[in-house]
Amino acid sequence: MADKNSALWGGRFQKPIAEVAHKFSSSIALDGKLWREDIRGSLAHAEMLGATGIIPEEEVDVIIKGLNEISHEIDRGEFQFDPSMEDVHLAIEQRLIQKVGSVGGKLHTGRSRNDQVALDERLYLKQAIATLNEKIADLIEALLTKAEEHADTVMPGYTHMQRAQPVLLSHHLLAYIRMLSRDAYRLDDALTRVDRSPLGAAAFAGTSYPIDREMTAKALGFSIVMPNSIDAVSDRDHLIEVASACSIIMMHLSRMAEELVIWSSTEFGFVTMSDAVTTGSSIMPQKKNPDMAELIRGKVGRVYGSLINLLTTMKALPLAYNRDMQEDKQPMFDALETTTDSVEMMALVIRETTYNAERMEDTVRAGHLMATEIADYLARKGMPFREAHHVTGKIVAYADKKKKSLEELTIEEYQSFSDKFKKSIYRSLDPRKSLEEKRSFGSTNPEMVRAELEAWRKRTQD
């Protein structure tokens, strides 16, 4: 290690970096993961150096052959990164020079690790977003299948965690599908800002070599060449956007997870999760714990943490590149990996969950969920809604006192509160009828929900 400084940074360095400083600053343990992207970027850069005549084609061929060999070596586990290397870029370059000799040193012409790392991260993010979006599509599919199975299951809807009004379980599950679909759009939108090539910005000021930035961008599948070299090496807001999209996904998953945890309790009994996604207790034999849902809920903190980590790392950083930015790897990988794993796990949890329709429907009958229907009934008969609400409140209090459900009250009892009540009130008290009576667009009306299910099914088949 003694001459590493002078070998890499040139003659200006007379003394090796302190062991502890090397350990403190090396990122190879983390950014080693970017080797595929790093080699892809180097291949495109080398081709361009040849095509523009910056270095002779014969030398480019040697470099390309060497890089391809290194790729195979890493793939087969034959080449392990030298831990004394500072980062993945230097490790691969050093290996190239080892293999092909000093000509390998020409690869870095017109390039800097600053544009190199910015490029590697963008290549990684493009792939990671595609994978995450596939997992989201699969989770939507799992939810849609359950929603179709339960197209007509009635459940109590909640506000403030109090039984509020009956809704279709399918409508409830479709709400999650809507959230996830926005999540996918959010990622796609962030992708348009990830999909820009920083390569060729060099350290930050550009280069005097006649490089062709369009050519490398095209070869690497980027839509746009970043037009400002200073911005190209110092922008991480595209990454922050992705971490933010991941945080929102995790927030959505945590709501689903929380609900599944509560719904699987004996108190609710709305769902039963299979043994594939639950665990037992080492001491209480009766228990079946919803660990996977809990862990999804628990992992949210890591992803939010990554977002805050990135925002804080970038805060107040002067232009252009600063070494602080190396700290972006850990939150970048962790946010993407944790979110992708969590979405995948949620799809399995949903598939392994049975929704207990009977129990849900029984619950709708208790807790005066139909009170709003009574108020609407009176309002339809001409009573101002505020007044109808007040009268209904009195009826609910009366039923509670008599320990009766709203259906059990007699017509005489209803009429003692208002002469607008007719026998037809009992039709309004039927939860299923009340769903059918919903008319507003986007409501839990069974026909509208069915149309929504069909539209989603068609969309997933396109």
Annotated catalytic residues are: 160, 281
Q: Which is nearer to ligand ARG, 55 or 332 (CB)?
A: 332
CB of 323 to ligand ARG, least distance (A): 6
CB of 91 to ligand ARG, least distance (A): 11
**Residue type for 436, please?**
E
The CA distances from residue 462 to 85, 189, 347, 457, in Å, are: 48, 20, 20, 9
Name residues whose C-beta falls within 8 Å of residue 145's C-beta, 6 or more positions apart in sequence.
351
Strand, helix or coil at 386? helix
Q: Which is nearer to ligand ARG, 27 or 94 (CB)?
A: 27
Q: Which is nearer to ligand ARG, 30 or 136 (CB)?
A: 30
CB of 87 to ligand ARG, least distance (A): 4
> Count of residues binding ligand ARG (CB under 6 A)?
10
Confirm or reject binding of residue 325 to ligand ARG (CB under 6 A).
Answer: yes
Confirm or reject binding of residue 326 to ligand ARG (CB under 6 A).
Answer: yes
- Listed in order, strand segments (DSSP E) in 312-455 are 353-355
CB of 115 to ligand ARG, least distance (A): 9
Q: Which is nearer to ligand ARG, 120 or 138 (CB)?
A: 120
Binder to ligand ARG among 117, 169, 345, 395 (CB under 6 A)? 117
CB of 182 to ligand ARG, least distance (A): 32
Name residues whose C-beta falls within 8 Å of residue 77's C-beta, 6 or more positions apart in sequence.
none
Confirm or reject binding of residue 323 to ligand ARG (CB under 6 A).
Answer: yes
Whole-angstrom Cα distance, residue 100 to residue 111? Answer: 19
Q: Which residues of 22-55 are buried (b: 16+ CB within 10 A; e: fewer)?
A: beeebbbebbbbbbebbbbbbbbbbbbbbeeebb
Binder to ligand ARG among 42, 71, 94, 114 (CB under 6 A)? 114
Q: Which is nearer to ligand ARG, 239 or 388 (CB)?
A: 239
Whole-angstrom Cα distance, residue 173 to residue 263? Answer: 14
Q: Are 95 and 79 in contact (CB under 8 A)?
A: yes
Whole-angstrom Cα distance, residue 299 to residue 231? Answer: 33
Binder to ligand ARG among 45, 95, 113, 172 (CB under 6 A)? 113
CB of 326 to ligand ARG, least distance (A): 4
Whole-angstrom Cα distance, residue 186 to residue 183? Answer: 5
Give 22-52 as a DSSP string.
HHHH--HHHHGGGHHHHHHHHHHHHHHHHHT
Q: Which is nearer to ligand ARG, 30 or 343 (CB)?
A: 30
Q: Which is nearer to ligand ARG, 319 or 455 (CB)?
A: 319
Confirm or reject binding of residue 87 to ligand ARG (CB under 6 A).
Answer: yes
Binder to ligand ARG among 4, 27, 111, 166 (CB under 6 A)? 27
Subset of residues 202 to 221 that bind ligand ARG, contact rule: CB under 6 A: none
Confirm or reject binding of residue 28 to ligand ARG (CB under 6 A).
Answer: no
- Stretch in the footprint of ligand ARG (CB under 6 A) among 41-49, 69-77, 132-140, 320-328: 320-328
Q: What is the DSSP letter of 152?
A: T
CB of 311 to ligand ARG, least distance (A): 17
Q: Are 154 and 167 in contact (CB under 8 A)?
A: yes
Tokens of 305: 């943490």
**Residue type for 345, please?**
M
List contacts with ligand ARG (CB under 6 A): 27, 31, 87, 113-114, 117, 321, 323, 325-326
